[in-house]
Amino acid sequence: MSARPDFSLSPEDLAAFHRNGFAGPFTLYEPDEIKKSWGRTRLELLDRSAAVYSDDAAVSAATNISNYDRHLDHAFLADHITRPEIVHRVASVLGPDVLCWRTEFFPKHPGDEGTDWHQADTFANASGTPQIQWPGGSDFGGTITVWCAFTEASAEMGCLQFIPGTHRTMFYDETKRMHYAPERNESVDKDGVRRGFFGYDYRELQIDPDWKPDESQAVSMEMRAGQFIMFWSTLMHASHPHEGRTRDMRMGFATRYVPTSVEIYPGTDEIEEYGGRVSLDRYGAVLVSGADQFGHNRIATRTTREHPFVPQPPAGA
């Protein structure tokens, strides 16, 4: 039997990841392949009968948190989060025992604003409640986000931007909690660029109110459809506006990974952000690599390739 491919980061790539805070892009799907898969998936996701979050209390003016974690009820997305091309590289950084704790869609339609510069450590920025918590004394924080371009992601269509090397210093205090006001915070001109943050003003969290990101150091992460990048959520990142030169939307699918030592949604039974609120009663993290030796998170199990994930209570519950 031939050996299974190993997609782990090389020592050189791993050193560059620790230095810059990101790696990629890497090719996961060919453009024609993802066009067919995403076209089919996009229609199938309209069926919410197995979705883990109800949409009646989650719809807001800026986004819809009921569309989080659709990997828990859709086979293509469930396969996507466990792809070895992704998991091997993530485990190169986090170690062998890895959970996928959340997935999100990031659409950008023609004419949409850019996303403002931001960092995320505990993801308490919107609700004031940490959504992930690393053990005390940890050298890292945040999550590794794998952002896959389900469509072309050029600069003019709103691709991501990074400021390399900023992942080791937090310039924002997430405990301040932002205020949701989409009528005030959308499409604000910031140094000549229309930027917002889904109905929030991320600048409210700045530790130094007079500080500004050094955009002269920013790099644009253009990707063709089917490619992905991985980065620390604590890395300063943003996105360009969609300039509307094409009628095509830009769709990114973000998968967030943490080691099993991290506590997910500690002390809370709901997600509250972007003007919405959803219950975590049917939520479960997915073990994508190794083993869970801590038992403090609810894990979702999948019995067959087509069957949705079923959450199990934490081992200590």
Interatomic CA distance for residues 73 and 50, integer angstroms = 6
Q: Kindly state whether residue 132 falls inside one of the protein's structural domains.
A: yes
pLDDT of residue 276: 80
Q: What is the domain range of residue 39?
A: 11-289
pLDDT of residue 196: 76
**Cβ-based neighbour number of residue 60 at 10 Å:** 18
pLDDT of residue 1: 52
- Give φ, ψ of 86 to 5 degrees: -90, -55
Q: Kindly state whether residue 309 falls inside one of the protein's structural domains.
A: no
pLDDT of residue 272: 85
Interatomic CA distance for residues 296 and 316, integer angstroms = 7
Q: Kindly state whether residue 301 falls inside one of the protein's structural domains.
A: no
Q: Which residues of 86-102 are buried (b: 16+ CB within 10 A; e: fewer)?
A: bbbbbbbbbeebbbbbb
Q: Kindly state whether residue 164 falls inside one of the protein's structural domains.
A: yes
pLDDT of residue 185: 58
pLDDT of residue 317: 55
**Cβ partners under 8 Å of residue 195, min gap 6:** 113, 114, 115, 116, 117, 188, 238, 241
In the chain, the number of structural domains is 1
**306 pLDDT band (50/70/90 cuts)?**
confident
Report which residue type is found at 283. Answer: Y
CB 38 within 8 A of CB 251: yes
Residues 278-296 have a mean pLDDT of 94
Q: Kindly state whether residue 187 falls inside one of the protein's structural domains.
A: yes
pLDDT above 70 coverage of the chain, percent: 93
CATH number, residue 41? 2.60.120.620
**Which pLDDT tens digit goes with each residue over 119-171?**
999 999 888 889 999 998 777 789 999 999 999 999 999 999 999 999 999 99
Closest Cα to residue 262, out of 114, 148, 102?
Answer: 102
Q: Is the pLDDT of residue 81 over 90?
A: yes
Q: Kindly state whether residue 51 falls inside one of the protein's structural domains.
A: yes
CB 301 within 8 A of CB 285: no
Q: Kindly state whether residue 148 falls inside one of the protein's structural domains.
A: yes
Classify burial at 72, counting beta carbons within 10 Å of its beta carbon; exposed 0-12, middle 13-18, buried 19 or more: buried
Q: Kindly state whether residue 316 falls inside one of the protein's structural domains.
A: no
Instruction: Report CA Rg, the chain.
Output: 19
Is the Cα torsion angle 220, 226, 227, 230 positive or negative in sign? positive
Closest Cα to residue 228, out of 74, 7, 3?
Answer: 7
